Each structure stands twice: as structure tokens, then as C-alpha cells.
Amino acid sequence: MQLLKILLWAIVIYYIYKFVFNVVVPVSKATKHMKQTVQKMQEAQQQQNQQPTNTQTQATPKATSNLKVDADYIEFEEIKEPK
């Protein structure tokens, strides 16, 4: 009877070990990797948000020059001739 009890506990411990190292450890590694990836993306986005403020101030003179060109544009309407 003792041998059967020890064998049963060995099987239970084996399956717990197998579950931990095949499921829990990979999930925790993937979670850690995802957190690092999200953090890198957030840092990149913050850097990207800081840079356009400098380029927007430089881009505004170009936008005003485009408005002058657009002011000379005359809208064209097509007139249909009756049959």
C-alpha cells in the first residue's frame, strides 16, 4: 500500500513539474517580453511626440506660402450644353 501511495505522489509531482515548466514559465517569459516591448513603444512614441513640435514651427512658413498660391486658383465649373 505504501508503494502505491509513493507512486501516486510521484505521478502528481511529475505532472505539477511538467505544468509549471511547460505553461507557467513560458507565460511569465512572454509577459516580461511584452512589457518590455510596450515600454519601448511608449518611449519611441514619446520621443516622436517631442520631435514634431520643433518641425511644426518650421513647417508653418511653408504652409503660409502655399496659401498664397491657393489664393490665385480659380474654381472651374463645367457647363452642360442642352441637346
* Mean pLDDT, rounded, for 47-59: 67
Confidence of residue 68 (pLDDT cuts 50, 70, 90): low
Q: Which three cell numbers mark 26?
A: 513560458
Can you tell me which residue has the cell 513560458?
Answer: 26
3-class state of residue 9 by DSSP: helix
pLDDT of residue 82: 81
Inform me whether the pLDDT recorded for 54 exceeds 70: no
Q: Where are the domains of the chain?
A: 1-41
